[in-house]
Structure 1
Amino acid sequence: MSAHPQLAAAAPSVQEIGRAATLALYDELALSPKPGLVTLTDCGSHVDMDAHTFMRSLLALRGYFVRIAGLGAAGAQFEALERCGIAAEAHMLTATGGINTHRGAIFMIGLLCASAGALAAEDRRLTPQALRDTLVQRWGDALAARAKQPSTLPGGIAARRLGLRSASTEAAMGFPTLFETAVPALHMARARGLSMPCAQLDTLFAVMAVLDDSNLAHRGGLEGLRFAQRAARGFLAAGGAAAPQGQAVARAIADEFVRRRLSPGGAADTLAATCWLARLAG
């Protein structure tokens, strides 16, 4: 069972879908220790943002997640979702003074909210498989075409240069890291009796271990990405958050990430998406 209050298992409203997204962004922010990422008390590897910046951002995005869920419910084409996301990004940048806090989440969780809205409109139960199938069936072709276009964003440029799987490709494939790694990791951790924060921490490291995180690639090159993946695998192999020294090990890894200026933003977005799904579907 999830530690979060459960929303309707079948056909949540677009307001519930959007509210869960905002709360999930807070779930990710509140988790600590996180390697290189902003928490409520730490700026991680960032010098231009802190928890206040993130709070301004996620509050600015509240309406966006509801709107894009509504577009999904209305059967909108990908172009309409994209326009909605672009407007949300502009709103975020206004709220943060030009700092990119949630661009990846706008893309990833926005698409998931649209998919959830589409399921709700058909009065279908929101399950991970139904969500993934809906995303691929409705917008997979458009996302695949988008993935072929050269990116102008730092992470996308790094992914293309290094031959990594981009965020757009992940989306076109139905977010395999989310559904095949993150969601099972959270469920298994909770089934073992871990608290929600410990389960979320293990989930974050499980994602870091396998994801072609373009944020890491941009900041640290291929060497930085591979270091992060090795560190994540080592943390989990040693018992993860449930190990007697699990929290101390996580803090030591976080310190090393800061020293190397690494920040696994893609993994953070995937964790937030996992928290969103947990709030909606358990």
Structure 2
Amino acid sequence: MARDHAAHAALRHPPSSCGQVHASPLAHRLGRLAVSALHAELACAPKPGLVTPFDSGSHTDMDASTFLRSLFALRGYFVAIAQAGIDNAPFARLRDLGIAAEAAMLRATGGINTHRGAIFSLGLLTAQAARLRAAHARAPAADAVCQGVQLWREALLAAPLDPRSNGQRMRAQHKVSGVREQAAMGYPLLHQVALPALRTRLATGATREAALAHTLMQLVAQVDDLNLLHRGGAKGLAYAKAQAQRFLADGGTAQPNWRDQLAAIGNGFVQRRLSPGGSADLLACAWFVHCQEHA
């Protein structure tokens, strides 16, 4: 796909939260931060198999402009779910907000699923970050936000699943856990994998883009990504993990030519139609919980 100059220009200025939600300044601040985290994930490039401002990865039905339309549609959701966290609302309220947000996303994108996973995970983390900050009058640690999602463990595990969804079919077919189990366990992949990788790269002076790309590959190397399973089966997942592990073993984004290496890996992903969308969702979540410590 040719470089989308309009989309790239828009990516330089992330959308703010809409002003239609009656919520506290804290809810608006954290809602904007959640959207900015999704924006940062989209802007990061190169990302093997995933949509960036410059290409559509392995996707033929979406590009950066599709993601931007979705982000604009979701601005109010993240503010509303932050306010629900501040209000210590029951899980049913969070779920209702998520269902409405998914409908808004699909309307904005013409039925294309750009952010379903993020609506779930980033929504829960935004609610918990807001809840903890309101309760303790200070920004919570990223790990505390992740583990705090266990507050809703029973409700998460009891919530009905759609057996027709791609994710649920992959869970059943390959006997792997999904994001619901991650949430119920307090997102161990975030505080044990993504956050350490992100912080280590940032501490060395890496740019945001390099730190995010490195963290993404750490996740691809370790996550049983349901999107990869759906698109490539067990062989596709194993291939993606092996490529990510090799990239990391060679130094990851500490290498001078890391962009060229990721572009080459991306070519292999596109040839196989692989897209690590679950890992991308976790990347945005990691960036959010990291940034909210100082917001």
- Shorter chain as denominator, the TM-score bin is over 0.9
Aligned pairs for 1:119-134 (under 5 A) are 119-122=132-135, 123-134=137-148
Q: Does 1:80 align with 2:103?
A: no
Q: Distance in 1 between matches of 2:206 and 2:36?
A: 21
Q: Does 1:175 align with 2:176?
A: no
Q: Distance in 2 between matches of 1:128 and 1:87?
A: 27
Partner residue in 1 for 2:26: 13
Q: Distance in 2 between matches of 1:152 and 1:178?
A: 27
Q: Contact 2:142/2:290 (CA < 8 Å) preserved in 1?
A: no
The one-letter amino acid of 1:28's match is E
Partner residue in 2 for 1:135: 149
Which of 13, 16, 26 is matched with 2:39 structurally? 26
Instruction: Specify whether residues 133 and 167 from structure 1 end up closer, same or farther in structure 2 by C-alpha distance, changes over 3 A only.
Output: closer
Q: Does 1:260 align with 2:264?
A: no
Q: Distance in 2 between matches of 1:12 and 1:131?
A: 19
Identical aligned pairs, as a percentage? 47
Q: Does 1:269 align with 2:281?
A: yes
Task: Indicate the RMSD between aligned Cα atoms, in angstroms.
Answer: 1.5
Q: Distance in 1 between matches of 2:239 and 2:25?
A: 40
The answer to which of 90-99 and 113-122 deviates more is 113-122
Q: Cα distance, 1:69 vs. partner?
A: 0.8
Q: Distance in 1 between matches of 2:264 and 2:171?
A: 27
Q: Contact 1:156/1:167 (CA < 8 Å) preserved in 2?
A: no
Q: Distance in 1 between matches of 2:25 and 2:206?
A: 27
SS of the counterpart of 1:61? helix
Partner residue in 1 for 2:212: 200
Q: Deviations over 1:96-132 (max 9, x none)?
A: 0111000000001000011012112202432123212
Q: Cα distance, 1:141 vs. partner?
A: 1.4
Q: Contact 2:139/2:292 (CA < 8 Å) preserved in 1?
A: no
Instruction: Specify whether residues 96 and 150 from structure 1 end up closer, same or farther in structure 2 by C-alpha distance, changes over 3 A only.
Output: closer
Q: Distance in 2 between matches of 1:276 and 1:39?
A: 19
SS of the counterpart of 1:48? coil
Consecutive unaligned residues of structure 2, counting only runs of 5 or more, are 1-23
Q: Contact 2:147/2:185 (CA < 8 Å) preserved in 1?
A: no
Q: Does 1:240 align with 2:258?
A: no
The one-letter amino acid of 1:53's match is T
Q: Cα distance, 1:73 vs. partner?
A: 1.1
Q: Contact 1:36/1:262 (CA < 8 Å) preserved in 2?
A: yes
The one-letter amino acid of 1:228's match is A
> Structure 1 segments of 4 or more deviating over 3 A?
none
SS of the counterpart of 2:256? coil
Partner residue in 2 for 1:164: 176
Q: Distance in 1 between matches of 2:26 and 2:78?
A: 12
Consecutive unaligned residues of structure 1, counting only runs of 5 or more, are 1-10
Q: Cα distance, 1:279 vs. partner?
A: 2.2
SS of the counterpart of 2:159? helix
The one-letter amino acid of 2:148's match is T
Partner residue in 1 for 2:20: none
Q: Contact 1:146/1:168 (CA < 8 Å) preserved in 2?
A: no
Give the total of aligned pairs. Answer: 270
Instruction: Specify whether residues 202 and 12 from structure 1 end up closer, same or farther in structure 2 by C-alpha distance, changes over 3 A only.
Output: farther
Q: Deviations over 1:226-254 (max 9, x none)?
A: 11111111110001112132111110000
Partner residue in 2 for 1:5: none
Q: Does 1:187 align with 2:199?
A: yes
Q: Distance in 2 between matches of 1:142 and 1:124?
A: 27
The one-letter amino acid of 1:112's match is L
Of structures 1 and 2, the one scoring higher in RCO (CA 8 A, sep 6+) is: 1
Q: Does 1:38 align with 2:51?
A: yes
Which of 112, 115, 135 is matched with 1:99 structurally? 112
